[in-house]
Structure 1
Amino acid sequence: MPTYLYTVLDSSGATHQSEIQAEDKSAAAALLAKEGFVLISLKEKGRVRKNALPGFGMFGRITSLDRILLTRHLATIVRAGVPLGEALDILIFNNAHRPVLKKILEEAKRNLEEGHPLSSIFAAYPEYFPPVFVGLIKAGEASGTLEETLESLGNQLLRDHELARKVRAAMVYPLILLGASFGIIVLLITFVLPRLAVAFGRSNVHLPWITLLLVRISAIVSGNKFFTLFGLLAAIIGLIWFFRKPAGKRLLFGLLTRVPVAHDLIRYLALARFSRTLKNLIKSGIPLLEGLDIVATSLGNESYRREIIQMQGEIRKGVSLADIFRKREEYFPRLVSSLVAVGERTGSLEQSLETIAAFYEEEVDRTLKTLVTFLEPLLLLIMGLIVGGIALSILLPIYQLIGQLR
């Protein structure tokens, strides 16, 4: 049954705009007349139009920072009393250098003029806008609080961006150490060892097993530089591709959860995002079950996603959120269940979730510092053992050669 968008006048002369389902246009007009409305306009509502998007390298995508700026700017413009259509025109002009975002905003403007809500066009591009983004905007449209919802969404996206940035920043120094150690190993194997191997062969020195092993590896690498480089690049690309897949993510999470500090960091990140996202969804008027469904797909943590899906079944049976958390202390510590229990009893669940999110965001900062403090000496030790082992394999034959000369 088609849907029709209408504008009518009531008995007091006030204008109303909404939509109605009917067999055809005449039936829709008859239904509105029966309700006592004077029909001004009536047109069939079309489907959301989604066209192919351009992609130009780094400009052919939408980053987390783009989403933050989009929500912040849109909230500011709407707060100033500018109609949504005009607000989109301003954003289209301001994002002329971002082809993909500009195209989506143009589609949003076109579909808005056809009567579609703003959230529907964002929902048509799930690869750029996650469920929590679409869900919050949809809730803001339904409740008439789009301005406040956009502000809350912008704040949440900013916090998520800051958390991700802190994690990346904390990993910079360990990655530099790994890169430096890898570079030293490559230098020794491809340039130093081949030359020394020639000298060792002429002197008839008995080589230790570790030196023989490294000399053979060096011969393979030096004799097949193209295939070695190709194999190395293929391995790196293959690993990146694998760890972006669900199976790879599960394996990576499984490995990281066996490292004490990393396990805590993953849990604190999940709890901080869970609490803040659910708080914003509830604040926007989204029911708890629907909110949990959105959170499950937005966390990016497979273990928590499975637990949240199971929780939904228990909530349908009338079990309180705090009691559900108490059964899952491995995922939701006692602090979470206690604060949620207080929030449910006092009707301040949003405030309790805000407190939990703030607490675990601070824990993320503290744990990141601990993790870096733990990784630095560990990586230095590993790098020292590897480089020291290679150096020892080179020095032992040299000492034997010097002994023969004496």
Structure 2
Amino acid sequence: MASYEYRALNAQGKTVKGVLDGESERHLRQLLREKGLTALDIQALNKSSNSSATSGRSLFKKKLAVSEVSLFTRELYTLLEASTPLNQALKALSEQAESKTVLRFISGLHQNVNEGYGLAQALMRSDYTVPQDYIAIIQAGEESGHLTAVMSRLADNLEQRDHLNKKLKTALIYPILMIVVAVAIVFFLMVYVVPKVVTVFDNMQQELPPLTQGLLSASDFVQVYWWLIIGGVIGLWVILQIMLRIPSMRFKIHALLMRTPGIKRFLIYSATSRWARTLGVLVDSGVAVRESMVISAEVMTLAPMRKAVDEMVEKIRQGESVHSAMRQAGFFPPLLLNLVKTGEGKGQLHTMLLKGAQHYEVAVEQAAQTLVSLLEPLLIIVMGAVVLTIVLAIMLPIFEMNQMVG
């Protein structure tokens, strides 16, 4: 028999860890079920070459798009609601998958379910990563025997998240396109247009205006060191990515962004709406509040907010209310705080969290539209100023020539 280290949920929804001896992982899962525990993760202590390969493979798991997971969840819910057994539903979905990625993902789940694993366990063993909150919600649905109802809430959650992502991407397409086009036009003017136009001034016996001299110097620099400019931009991007991988630097950068006027409200509302919806769905699915709080921290992309949620977990463990812990965090909007306070008092925390999430999702869309409406005229003004500077630099010597001739 081999020794296994396990992490499981007990009847109260709390995570427990330990070590057990078993003939196989399947045998160990049976032993845990007899103890009233639901396995979350099992690792062999005496790792064989096969387990090492599995562990290594897990480091390179592929990630599914939110839209793909959303569509899979909605289709699976539809089949389960029609009383289709889970393994048959997965088989049917694998046969109609439109992409190879989704086909391999669903086929892997189908194989794991046929081997006796639950859907949550199959997702953990999959070669494709899905969010931790997604697995936790399905785990809660399987434990409570209400998987179909939980899949419905989960599908609604993912569809709303996908809808918001698409809205934000659509709003940002125009300003990003304007920036790219503006940079390309300026680069073209500096490399091709300016050098040809200013050749008419080569035979002039007078000193060129400072603005024209500066433009010529800038044009010469761009023509000779264009590779340095492109390399510098790429280098800055790489440095930023490296800094974001260092926890202390990522925390400082995110904290700075959260204090930046114009985008502060957009970032906080976006993170708050996603966190509130995730926590609301987890609690509504039967996951304990503290465990839900731990899982919901995973969706916080801003480091200061994630740290605050982690601290909230400890406060709740010490007996404080969710509202009190949120208020001490210092960044949650007042409306959400009032909704959570009301929800706790009436025993409807999940309902109020979902209402708050819906409100701030609308606020995020409005904030994005406001941000774009401010960026558009600003970009036009900047682009106009650059083009005007180039035109003046070219026209000033011509004006001086006309005065001399006159």
- Give the TM-score normalised by the residue count of structure 2: 0.80
CA distance in 1, matches of 2:384, 2:243: 28
> Is the deviation greater in 360-369 or in 236-245?
236-245
Secondary structure in structure 2 of the residue aligned to 1:171? helix
> 1:88 corresponds to which residue?
90
Instruction: Give the deviation of 1:312 after TM superposition.
Output: 0.9
Query: What is the RMSD of the two structures over their aligned residues, measured on CA atoms?
Result: 3.3
Look up the equivalent residue of 1:207 and give its one-letter code.
L
CA distance in 2, matches of 1:243, 1:100: 31
Please say which structure displays the higher CA radius of gyration: 1
Instruction: Give the deviation of 1:214 after TM superposition.
Output: 2.4
Structure 1 residues 154 and 243: alpha-carbon distance in aligned structure 2, compared to 1, 3 A threshold: farther
Which whole-Å deviations, capped at 9, do the CAs of 1:64-97 have from their partners, x for residues lacking one?
11111110111111111111111111111112x4
Instruction: Give the deviation of 1:229 after TM superposition.
Output: 7.7
The residue correspondences of 1:167-206 to structure 2 (distance < 5 A) are: 167-206=168-207
In the alignment, does 2:368 pair up with 1:353? no
> 1:13 corresponds to which residue?
none
> 2:405 corresponds to which residue?
405
The residue correspondences of 1:89-108 to structure 2 (distance < 5 A) are: 89-95=91-97, 97-108=98-109
Instruction: Give the deviation of 1:230 after TM superposition.
Output: 5.5
Structure 1 residues 259 and 284: alpha-carbon distance in aligned structure 2, compared to 1, 3 A threshold: same
> 2:234 corresponds to which residue?
234
> 1:274 corresponds to which residue?
275
> 1:392 corresponds to which residue?
392
> 1:16 corresponds to which residue?
none
Structure 1 residues 399 and 387: alpha-carbon distance in aligned structure 2, compared to 1, 3 A threshold: same
Instruction: Give the deviation of 1:135 after TM superposition.
Output: 1.3
Secondary structure in structure 1 of the residue aligned to 2:113? helix
> 1:70 corresponds to which residue?
72
The residue correspondences of 1:236-255 to structure 2 (distance < 5 A) are: 238=238, 241=241, 245=245, 250=251, 253-255=254-256
Look up the equivalent residue of 1:367 and give its one-letter code.
A
The residue correspondences of 1:2-401 to structure 2 (distance < 5 A) are: 62-95=64-97, 97-124=98-125, 128-223=129-224, 227=227, 231=231, 234-235=234-235, 238=238, 241=241, 245=245, 250=251, 253-328=254-329, 330-401=330-401
- Unaligned segments of structure 2, at least 5 residues: 4-19, 35-41, 45-50
- Give the TM-score normalised by the residue count of structure 1: 0.80
CA distance in 2, matches of 1:202, 1:84: 84
Which whole-Å deviations, capped at 9, do the CAs of 1:9-65 have from their partners, x for residues lacking one?
xxxxxxxxxxxx77569xx8xx99xx9xxxxxxxxx999996969x9xxxx862211
Contact 1:206/1:397 (CA < 8 Å) preserved in 2?
no
Structure 1 residues 276 and 46: alpha-carbon distance in aligned structure 2, compared to 1, 3 A threshold: closer
Structure 1 residues 251 and 190: alpha-carbon distance in aligned structure 2, compared to 1, 3 A threshold: farther
CA distance in 2, matches of 1:212, 1:220: 12
Instruction: Give the deviation of 1:311 after TM superposition.
Output: 0.7
CA distance in 2, matches of 1:244, 1:103: 32
Contact 1:325/1:336 (CA < 8 Å) preserved in 2?
no
> 2:39 corresponds to which residue?
none
Structure 1 residues 374 and 179: alpha-carbon distance in aligned structure 2, compared to 1, 3 A threshold: same
CA distance in 2, matches of 1:131, 1:65: 17
Secondary structure in structure 1 of the residue aligned to 2:301? coil
Q: How many residues align?
A: 367
CA distance in 1, matches of 2:328, 2:386: 46
Contact 1:75/1:151 (CA < 8 Å) preserved in 2?
yes
CA distance in 2, matches of 1:208, 1:174: 34
Contact 1:2/1:24 (CA < 8 Å) preserved in 2?
yes
Look up the equivalent residue of 1:365 and give its one-letter code.
E
> Is the deviation greater in 302-311 or in 241-250?
241-250
Instruction: Give the deviation of 1:327 after TM superposition.
Output: 2.0
CA distance in 1, matches of 2:143, 2:364: 34
Look up the equivalent residue of 1:267 and give its one-letter code.
I
Secondary structure in structure 2 of the residue aligned to 1:69? helix
CA distance in 2, matches of 1:65, 1:163: 11
